[in-house]
Amino acid sequence: MSTLNPGMDAETFDQFIDQLRRYVRDRLIPAEKDILETDRIPADILGEMRDMGLFGLTIAEEYGGAGMNTYQYTQTIRELAYAMPCFRSIISITVGMVNSALRNGGTEEQKAKWLPQMAEGMVTAFGLTEPGSGSDSAGMQTMAVKSGNGWVLNGTKRYITNAPDAKMAVIMARTSKEALPKNAHVSAFIVPMDTPGITVGKSDKKMGQAGTHIADIILEDVQLPADALLGLEEGKGFVTAMKSLDNGRLSVAAASMGYARRAVDSALRYASERKAFGEPIANFQLIQQMLAESDIEIYASETMLADCARRVDAGEPVLRKAAATKVFASESCGRIVDRVVQIYGGAGYLAEYDAERFFRDARIYRIYEGTTQILQLQIAKHMLREFAAGVN
């Protein structure tokens, strides 16, 4: 498989991963208790993450980033996601979806303006989902209307990760009232979050994922200049969003397996220490079965992710494979954290232990960046389309 994006030098990348692995275990995991109490990543840790270049992982070196390819990025996310999910969420929208949108659809001027700020640590958001629509672009209600030399946006975006902290957002909006073929009624806009007319709702209370903030973004007569239109071209927003979501889905897959590994390591430690009938429960074969099944599923997820990421770097279209990887990794993570609660037994239901937090935190992975059910439909449609076209 040829490589179009070689990414960071291999030796440098290996050194970076070793450093990150130590940082996650020595600095991030000890900070989790404080984050659970405050629902916020400490400012000094955010500063350290910026200094390490975590906000610029995939941004090209010419704009101040590390220039990682997709394979390196997903391996980095897997390591980072061994700690609680908020550390991935705060950077992944920037280095994943927003960077992908600008890289694939932005003009040179837009890249030069925004990518260096992102690489330095600017928090961003990606506004696609609405109260009445998510994957269904025909149901999108946010409108962008031409006004003089610019645009006026009105609408509401819902469940937007990083919305309370973001300085900039890529917002999807209709530029045509009619639903057009190939979703050409949707365009993408680069929106500074301090623009008059933007209101960010109260941060939503969630089942899990402490320190990760989501909220509504309400746009009321938000006036934007002409160059806010991504790529200065109408009708490309949905295509841009879908390309960005491929990246986002691989990031969620990587996060799923990183957190699954953390949960399994916790279960191994607990099963080795907890005794019943005079011996560690790790000696019981049904406990061993749950551990083994979990390890098998993590390995399968890692293999799918590595293959899909390398295909991205080789320039192959991966919409179907990225969806499959995200579905398998997130669903297997759900099964794994459930087994971990079972291994902990009654203690697994108590907030005093990590198992119940793993269970709550992991549940969202099967929902965002495309629910399992939506992605299954997407995979099946592509299978049927390829069958009808005679593609093997």
- Beta strands 275-276 and 279-280 are antiparallel
SS3 readout for 339-381 = HHHHHHHHHHHCCCCHHHHHHHHHHHHHCCCCCHHHHHHHHHH
Helix or strand holding residue 225 (H, E)? strand 214-225
Catalogue the active-site residues. Answer: 369
Residue 168, CA distances (Å) to 191, 213, 217, 259, 379 in order: 6, 15, 12, 28, 32
Q: Which two tokens stand for residue 337?
A: 């954290």
CB within 8 Å of 110: residues ≥ 6 apart = 102, 190, 227, 230, 231
DSSP state of 204: P
| Cβ-based neighbour number of residue 287 at 10 Å | 19
Residue 266, CA distances (Å) to 252, 259, 338, 353 in order: 21, 11, 13, 10
